[in-house]
Amino acid sequence: MISKKNKRRYLIVPGVIIAIAFIADRLFPLPHPEQTSAFSQTVTAYDGTPLRSFPSRRHIWRNPITIEQVSPHYLEALIGYEDRSFWWHPGVNPWALIRAAGQWMFHWRIVSGGSTITMQVARIIDPCDRSIIGKLHQILRAFQLELHYSKRKILTIYLNYAPMGGVLEGVDAASRAYLSKSAANLSYSEAAMLAVLPQAPSRLRPDRYPYRAQKARNKLLNRMKDRWSANIIQDALTEPVFARGIKEPMIAPLLAQRLKSQYPGQLVITSTIDADIQSTVESLLLQRARSLPNHVSCAALVMDNKTLETRAYVGSADFHDRSRENYVDMVQAWRSPGSTLKPFLYGFAIDAGLIHSESLLSDVPQSFEGYQPGNFERTFSGAVSVSEALVRSLNVPAVQVLSHYGPERFVNQLEQGGLRLKFPRGASSNLSVILGGASTKLEYLVGEYSSLARNGIAGMPRFTNDVLKQEHRIMSPGAAFIIKNILESGGPSGWATLDRHNIGLAWKTGTSFDFRDAWAIGVTDHYTLGVWVGRPDGTPNPGFFGSNVAEPLLKDIYHILPRPTEPIAKSIPANVKQEEICWPLGNAAQSELSPLCATKRTAWVLDGVTPPTFADPLRSGEPIAHYTVDVQTGLRATRACTQRLLREEISPLWPTALEPWIDQKSRRLDPPAWMSGCMPPLNANLKMEITGLRSAEILHRTLAGDALQVSLGINGAKGRVRWLMNGMLLGDADAKKGWRIKFPHPGEYAITGLDDNEHYARIMVDVE
């Protein structure tokens, strides 16, 4: 029997050992890997695909991962090859150590290391040399690890920190760098290759030494015969080892940089980006940029209308081309929007009851309190509808509507929906805003345009799901429907070009002053997308219009977007109807024989309201002419000049500024000519007259075919005269000086002169 004294000795010895271990644990605390080596910060697509990783301070690529996120094939290969007793040993496998020591003594070299996964983790968190002292140090740290952490935690550390060659650590970083896939999707062969790699990460790198990597992989596979079927192993053995060189992911790099700044301490930032859409859009922009001049860049944004999640974000055409200022994110840049704000102006004006889709507007030279807008082509079209003005992006009609709606009111309503505007220093809301007189951002435009597909509710693009939706109503569902219909199909009167029919995309282009920015913004039922093309430094690009450089790219992006399997049911809002309206008054057509209906048009009307044409600023009173005509001849007369039977008649009056552009067909309801013997009212003949050519005159060019030039004058004009040829503004000059007209080729020419009082003279000539 053991005496009491010996029992006490047997109890003291373990107690002393435990006390020594406790003191040693306190004196030499276990380092944690996060204390010495941080993870990479990674921005991913919504499905977890890495978009861009930012390395740790030591420039190590390491992606955080859990056991559940790793392929079970890899876990089986790792434990089956490295440490089959991992789940039950206390950190050290004594039989493996004894075997390794015996092999070393017999061969005088290391045949098998005998290290467990826990011991390898110990060496990762507290590196030591490969001497006997180093091995003892490693063993003690392994015991310490088992004391403090669970087996799952120890395995997780290994999965995240195991050396994988070069700057790679952890199975997920290696899987994505070498195989372009997540560690969750490894095949048996790939799992075996990555499981054996940490044994000699520099010597077994599959991108540099595929033969060595394959030989090591095959060794592991052959040791897994008791765990994997023969067919699995045979298939894995025949699979070649192939890996690309280590290359950091670089998708949506500028968005990733933006999110990194917004979430500085977050290791994994999950964006709303669709990696497939993003990659395709990037390829489209890169391809387009290569056909553009040096220094020209592009940007694009695609947003899901339902969730407001951004599916593609391309801030520059080529992130690797410094000549195009690749580091400038043009999604966030302040730029002039050109004409892209016009749809909102017309939508707001429809809601305000100022216009309907076919309201008569005047695309003619006009002055709005000193502001004289023009069109890019310096041509004017005369009488146009709202639909035509919007589809053709005419400037003067837009300024005309804004002058009635109010620029400050317009800007305030835009900003309520999230579209911020920045005016030049010292400037404020003014009429030029509708033509690009203030700056905004691509992301703001995309958010505001989404209102056309979201029943008038604008929404700011979301780049991560933890950001709440920012939504604001900016127009009624009815106004949004009308504007979208015009941009998609041209409206009920059919002002669409051929490529607008049945395409499913409503879009608007814009070009800023001096060709600095080319825009195209589009809306479908499911997506809103925007494109910008230009130079980031703001240098002009002559000849770059939204329609010729941005619009084709927008349509290319539209065609690659996935078509949802469940289409959105389309319906016309209950308060939107089609009605027949009449020009020039703008009112609803009352009857087929209305004396006030010169031209009929089909209009989208909101709430049954058919607002009249804007009041004529050059003529007061109602826009209707009252007069009397002879019952028999139909000629105009008054009771003061004839005893014949007269009847009263009325005719609509076209806006004064439009009179030079109204053709004879549209004038069919004008008052008739005066009856012989009846004099018109006093001063009626005091009108302007062009001299130097007569109307209907035929001119002949020289035999040499040189351009014909004629000097014209004008009588009865006041101040300066604006000279136009076929609607194109040639210039202006003092009324006394006249103008020299050049006829470049044969054809019919309409020559018009307008003075400061908006009086005009017009002649038609033919050149042969």
- Catalytic residue at 82? yes
What is the per-residue pLDDT across 376-404, written as a single tens digit (0 to 9) for each? 666 788 899 999 999 999 999 999 999 99
Which of 1.10.340.30, 3.30.70.330, 1.10.3810.10, 1.10.10.10 is the CATH number of 62-238?
Answer: 1.10.3810.10
pLDDT for 83: 84
DSSP label of 204: S
What is the per-residue pLDDT across 55-113, written as a single tens digit (0 to 9) for each? 777 778 888 889 999 999 999 999 998 888 888 888 777 665 555 555 455 544 444 55
Cβ-based neighbours of 89, under 8 Å, separated by 6 or more: 83, 116, 118
Q: Specify the amino acid at residue 448.
A: E
Cis peptide bond upstream of 584, omega within 30: yes
Note the pTM of the prediction, 2 decimals: 0.80
What is the per-residue pLDDT across 207-239, written as a single tens digit (0 to 9) for each? 999 999 999 999 999 999 999 999 999 999 999
- Catalytic residue at 339? yes
CATH fold of 272-564: Beta-lactamase (3.40.710)
What average pLDDT does range 680-691 have in this prediction?
61
What is the per-residue pLDDT across 299-347, written as a single tens digit (0 to 9) for each? 999 999 999 999 999 999 888 777 777 889 999 999 999 999 999 999 9
Contact criterion met (CB below 8 Å) for 545 and 338? no
pLDDT for 685: 42
Average pLDDT along the chain: 84
Choice among 336, 339, 357, 651 that is catalytic: 339
* Buried-state track 548-585, b at ≥16 Cβ within 10 A, e below 16: ebbbebbbbbbeebeeeeeeeeeeebeebeebbbbbbb
Q: Is 80 exceeded by the pLDDT of residue 668?
A: no
pLDDT for 196: 94
And the tokens for 159?
């999965």
What is the per-residue pLDDT across 568-589, written as a single tens digit (0 to 9) for each? 667 899 999 999 999 999 988 8
And the tokens for 114?
């005998």
Superfamily per CATH, domain 689-767: Immunoglobulins (2.60.40.10)
What is the per-residue pLDDT across 183-203, written as a single tens digit (0 to 9) for each? 999 999 999 999 999 989 999
Cβ-based neighbours of 626, under 8 Å, separated by 6 or more: 648, 649, 650
How far is residue 639 from each of residues 23, 105, 445, 635, measured CA to CA in Å? Answer: 126, 137, 62, 13
Choice among 53, 71, 82, 336 that is catalytic: 82
